Amino acid sequence: MAALHTHKPSHLLSPLRIALRGHALLTSPRFNKGTAFSPSERKTFGLEGRLPYRTNTLDEQCQRAYGQLQARSKPIRKNTFLQSLKEQNWTLYYALLARHLKELTPIIYTPTEAEAISSYSHLFRRSEGLFLSFPDEDILEQLFLDHTAGRDIDLFVVTDGEAILGIGDQGVGISTAKSAIYTLIGGVDPSKSIAVMLDVGTDNQDLLDDPLYVGWRSKRVRGEEYDCFVDKFVQLVRKHYPNSLLHFEDFGSFNARRILERYRDTHAVFNDDIQGTGAVTLACILSAIRISSQSSPSKAPQTLADQRYVIFGAGAAGLGIAKQLRDAVLVESKQDSKNNGGLSREEANKQFYLIDRQGLLHANLSKDILNNLNEGVKEFVRPAEEDWGNDQVDLLEVVKKVRPTVLIGCSTKAGAFTQEVVEAMMDGLEEGARPIILPLSNPSKLVEAQPEDLLKWTKGRALIATGSPFDSVKMEVEGKEREFVIAECNNALIYPGLGFGAVLAKSRRVTDTMLIEGAKRLADLSPAVSEFRSESSDKDGFTTAALLPDFEDAPKVNFEVAITVAEQAVKEGSAGQDMKIGSLRQEAKEKVWVPMYREYVFDEEAGLRET
């Protein structure tokens, strides 16, 4: 157990003073230990005769629960079992997940959670979270306070259900999975986290026609009424919990960035779909640049500003990645004294080539195409003077002309990175440089290229990360058998730490520089970078370690990311006034929540509060 949570020293798990006894204690998921209550606790809290005689350890409870879980063959059945376990015992639920992190995260989150949410009204058993419905707009504050009064809340995860996990408008479906990941991997105390559903209706006709649908049966509210409703909620959070993090989840593309931009300067807000994907991709590229630079220090591009980026797929993910990388280029260039104040936004934009269904986005495309582009995409449209002609320009032509050092796939177009495309990329690189190729589309069947093919076509030189997990690739390179570990570019490697860092620092904002510093810290923890730092490494230019840490290490990695993010918040003045850099690590150790049982002490004055 200690090996799982070394970032939380056991001496910081102080006794917990509570007033619950008997049945009330056993039915409280926050405080229930089940068969793990010690003999003395059973006597003190009136549990004798309510539990079997033998006391179990948490490890034994996890073993039993895992056996029960394995008896269920379908992922959705496992999901509902785990949800039931969560309703009984939070510590056991998170402890079980922590022991089988890679296996069970897809069960409680994507892709299985999408199926659970799509069947939410039919699977509904018990309410979890806060439901705020448009017809109740006039009593919104009363409903908010009824649920939150007297609670110390660090995190609100809010959705309007319009763009759920790639399956679209699902109406009412609470974002408990994202909250659970914040706890499991980020260490946010589950008692200080609330999932919120803003029920503004649904345009899903199947739900509107379903007699069992539990949400407000109405078409979605749009326009000024929608904005006013969302604003009322945000202002309640700002008024009553000014130091909390507000995480927007699964909003539709039209509203997501607009809402983020509206509130990001007045409260600590975050959108994983927009910022998380960009941040973890940035970390991956920073790691890859270090490897490429160290492989051939005299030839390879050394910085973010030296790269040429082709992004295949200009949807929400592709645009989010482009903006995050662009912002990092700007920050990096300003920090480089040789750049005389750094690049302008327009200059940084010119390093990016976005390709969508219409081919390369350039100024000579038809007005109909250009006018229908997302506003955020328009600033990356290539200027007319580059003379790309008036026709659609495909990926291969762009690669041949641009000679990219970084190729990113967010297209869901399986096999788009062909051998011809990859070889053209290799031909355009400076001597000694290694191609950075990130086929990020999910699920794995939609990936732009298989890692094994990319390594074969580049003779082992490609630096690769994928959006889905892939097995390592064994192949012979220059007479030596090697095993290349493929990094998974998973948002969960960074966003829980970004959130916990903001909460730790009591930050009033989540700034671009906080995101960038978090990404840099994640890159520092890259196994590939560590391999190059090792004196035992032969540094022969064929790093086989992963560009990002293994997902099993996500809790420890996010803990380090959180401290870095909090330190940056203090440096730039967005943290709470009482925060000091020198004490942040210790404060993080004290604040981080891990699924381990604490000793209970009865105190009838304690209520449900910890001391």
- CATH number for the domain spanning 65: value is 1.20.1370.30
- Say if residues 307 and 350 touch (Cβ distance below 8 Å): no
Residue 217 domain flag: no
Q: What is the CATH number of the domain that holds 488?
A: 3.40.50.720
**Is residue 474 in a domain?**
yes
Could you give phi then psi for residue 441, rounded to 5 degrees?
-65, 140
Q: Which residues are annotated as a binding site for a divalent metal cation?
A: 249-250, 273
Question: Which pLDDT score, from 0 to 100, does residue 323 have?
Answer: 93
Amino acid 499: pLDDT: 96
Q: Which domain holds residue 15?
A: 1-118
Give the three-class secondary structure for 367: helix
Q: Give the integer Cα–Cα distance in Å for 267 and 532.
A: 40
Residues contacting 575, CB < 8 A, separation 6+: 505, 506, 507, 508, 566, 569
- Going by C-beta distance under 8 Å and a sequence separation of 6 or more, which residues neighbour residue 27? none
Split into its structural domains, the chain has a count of 2
Q: Domain end: 92, 118, 144, which one?
A: 118
Amino acid at 2: A
CB contact set of 588 (below 8 Å; sequence gap of 6+): 7, 500, 504, 559, 562, 563, 566
Task: Tell me whether residue 260 is in a domain.
Answer: no
Q: What is the mean pLDDT of each run of 10 residues along the chain (611 residues)?
A: 69 91 96 98 97 97 98 94 96 97 92 82 84 96 94 95 80 82 96 95 94 95 97 98 94 89 96 90 95 64 89 90 94 72 89 95 90 88 88 94 96 95 95 92 91 96 94 90 94 96 96 95 94 59 87 95 97 90 94 96 71 29
Is the Cα torsion angle 349, 351, 355, 359 positive or negative in sign? positive
d(CA 325, CA 344): 14
Query: Which of the listed residues 118, 149, 175 is the one where a domain comes to its end?
Result: 118
Asked, for residue 137, whether it belongs to a domain, the answer is: no
Cβ atoms of 53 and 29 within 8 Å: the answer is no
Contacts with 571 (C-beta within 8 Å, 6 or more apart), sequence order: 581
Query: What stretch of H or E contains 286?
Result: helix 277-295
Q: Is residue 23 included in any domain, yes or no?
A: yes
Check residue 86 and give its pLDDT.
Answer: 96
- State how far the alpha carbon of 491 is from the alpha carbons of 139, 227, 350, 412, 446, in Å: 36, 28, 26, 17, 18
Instruction: Say if 29 falls within a structural domain.
Output: yes
Helix (H, G, I), strand (E, B) or coil at 380: coil
| CA torsion angle 41 45 51 55 (round to 10) | -10
What CA–CA distance (Å, rounded) separates 256 from 374? Answer: 12
pLDDT for 536: 46
Query: Measuring CA to CA, how many Å separate 482 from each of 276, 286, 486, 543?
Result: 32, 23, 13, 9
Q: Is residue 540 part of a domain?
A: yes
Q: Name the residues annotated as catalytic.
A: 109, 178
- Residue where a domain terminates, one of 87, 118, 149: 118
Contacts of 297 (CB under 8 A, 6+ apart): none
Residue 541 lies in a domain: yes
